[in-house]
Amino acid sequence: MSFSFYIAKRYLRSKSHQNAVNIINFITFLVIVIGSAALFVVLSAFAGLKTFSLSFTNTFDPDLKALPVTGKHFSISPAEEQKIKEIEGVAQFSKELEERAYLNFREKSTIAYIKGVDGNYRSVTGVDSTLYFGNWGVIEQNAVIGIGIYNLLGIPLDNYQNPMSVLVPKPGKGAFSQQNPNNRPYNQLPLVISGVYAVEENLDKKYVITTLNLVQKLLEKDSTQVSGINFKLKSDNDYKEIQNRILQVLGDKVYVLDRQQLNGTLYRMLNTENLATYLIFTLVLIIALFNVVGAIIMMILDKQQNSRTLFSLGATIKELRQVYFIQGLLVTSIGGIIGVLIGSLLIGSQILFGWLKITPSLAYPVEFNFANVLVVLLTIVVLGFISSKIASNRISKKLITA
């Protein structure tokens, strides 16, 4: 054990003869503990919110998705489908075709997306878990809608006598004849609502989900034309490698995105909020750790006679500076560890018991993450290092011999 560390450890455990110095040291230590605990709790809360927010999009978003490079649609041949099935690492894939449509039921209407999906869609995505009530239908003319559309239009389930109408503009060029009343500028599809899904407000107002062949007929597309292909991967495979292999099969007509790329804006927003919160709380810690500088300087003045004695016995100015530097580093490190432990207990109790609620049935989402533990401890140690260095540099031969 070095001389400086031994003396610093003794100073850390000993009390000053002046009560004011003891109070300042206690307050300094308490501020470090509370600051580190608060930073850890906030980072854990944001991690939980991030996971909670992304869980909404993950129900509709697959592991990978192929989208057209140009336009809204692209073609996939049976031969290409067979090659995709042979790609190692692809568990399943599902074709879809979607387009904006006008929804009408009695005197009410709204704009949403009509999404046609094949039989694999529910296996590739987590959409099954979003069904709020009803079912996915047993006949071709059935559809599932978001609860936002359901509330807006007031559509009863299984209403076969008065189904909802879906209208989309007819594809093609040129003007329509005004003399032929049957030559309508739109295609119409009646759909019976069999179920309602609920995820979050924006998605709940966005989709009407039905079978792929119905939407292909509605949009006058052939059986090979789709607007996207969803892929479910085996968990132990490399995403980048599979992306490249899918691109080799489908060529330059598509690009393949993962979940993060599909929701790039959402990920950037969440990461920016997390970073901003961390910087704000770090600024609070920086201000709080000025107390460490003051406490060490008070300790230097309080132990001035001891320092003079040590200097007379042969201790160098550098060694005396190291004593107070190590003392400051020990105070901040121990305070940071205790703060993280307290924060961990708070986060653990929230995970287990959900004592803080967003709604009567929904606990505030938090997530214990070892990365956050390292971030908080590293932040405390770095700030403690800087503040201890500043304070210990106050030691000089003039101060000791005065």
Higher pLDDT, 16 or 389: 389
Q: What is the pLDDT of residues 13-60, one digit of tens each?
A: 666 666 776 777 788 888 889 889 999 999 999 888 888 877 777 778
Average pLDDT, the chain: 85
Please determine, for residue 401, whether its predicted confidence score (pLDDT) is greater than 70.
no
Higher pLDDT, 2 or 273: 273
- Cα–Cα–Cα angle for 325, 326, 330, nearest 5°? 120
Tokens of 134: 């009803």
- For 43, 112, 349, the CA distances from 368, given in Å and listed in that order, are 9, 38, 11
Q: What whole-number distance in Å separates Cα of residue 184 and Cα of residue 52?
A: 45
Q: What is the pLDDT of residue 178?
A: 54
Q: Which residues pair with 203 in a beta bridge?
A: none
Cβ atoms within 10 Å of 209's Cβ, excluding its own: 25
Q: What whole-number distance in Å separates Cα of residue 206 and Cα of residue 228?
A: 17
Please determine, for residue 128, whether its predicted confidence score (pLDDT) is greater than 70.
yes
- Is the Cβ–Cβ distance between 212 and 117 less than 8 Å? yes
Q: What is the pLDDT of residue 100?
A: 94
Write the secondary structure of the chain as one string of H (helix), E (strand) and C (coil). Answer: CCHHHHHHHHHHHCCCCCHHHHHHHHHHHHHHHHHHHHHHHHHHHHHHHHHHHHHHHHCCCCCEEEEECCCCCEECCHHHHHHHHCCCCEEEEEEEEEEEEEEEECCEEEEEEEEEECCCHHHHCCHHHHEEEECCCCCCCEEEEEHHHHHHHCCCCCCCCCCEEEEEECCCCCCCCCCCCCCCCEEEEEEEEEEEECCCHHHHCCEEEEEHHHHHHHCCCCCCEECEEEEEECCCCCHHHHHHHHHHHHHHHEEEEEHHHHCHHHHHHHHHHHHHHHHHHHHHHHHHCHHHHHHHHHHHHHCHHHHHHHHHCCCCHHHHHHHHHHHHHHHHHHHHHHHHHHHHHHHHHHHHHCCCEEECCEECCCCCCHHHHHHHHHHHHHHHHHHHHHHHCCCCHHHHHC
Reported confidence tier of residue 299, pLDDT bands at 50, 70, 90: confident
Please determine, for residue 112, whether its predicted confidence score (pLDDT) is greater than 90.
yes
Tokens of 279: 């910087």
Q: What whole-number distance in Å separates Cα of residue 145 and Cα of residue 153?
A: 11
Tokens of 55: 């869980």
Higher pLDDT, 365 or 15: 365
Q: What is the pLDDT of residues 331-354, one digit of tens each?
A: 888 989 999 999 999 999 999 988
Q: What is the pLDDT of residue 199?
A: 86
Q: What is the pLDDT of residue 259?
A: 85
Q: What is the pLDDT of residues 170-219, one digit of tens each?
A: 876 555 555 455 567 889 999 999 999 998 888 899 999 999 999 999 99
Nearest to 29 by CA among 17, 42, 15, 18: 15
- Is the Cβ–Cβ distance between 266 and 272 less than 8 Å? no
- Burial of residue 187 (number of CB atoms within 10 Å: 0-12, 13-18, 19+): middle
- For 30, 31, 35, 289, the CA distances from 27, given in Å and listed in that order, are 5, 6, 12, 11
Q: What whole-number distance in Å separates Cα of residue 349 and Cα of residue 306?
A: 46
Average pLDDT, integer, range 223-230? 93
Nearest to 229 by CA among 112, 81, 337, 333: 81
Q: Which residues of 333-342 are buried (b: 16+ CB within 10 A; e: fewer)?
A: bbbbbbbbeb
Nearest to 95 by CA among 125, 69, 70, 71: 125
| 60 phi-psi bin (left φ>0, alpha ψ -120 to 50, beta other) | alpha
- Burial of residue 119 (number of CB atoms within 10 Å: 0-12, 13-18, 19+): exposed
Please determine, for residue 310, whether its predicted confidence score (pLDDT) is greater than 80.
no
- Is the Cβ–Cβ distance between 227 and 69 less than 8 Å? no
Q: What is the pLDDT of residues 81-97, one digit of tens each?
A: 999 998 988 999 999 99
Average pLDDT, integer, range 262-284? 84
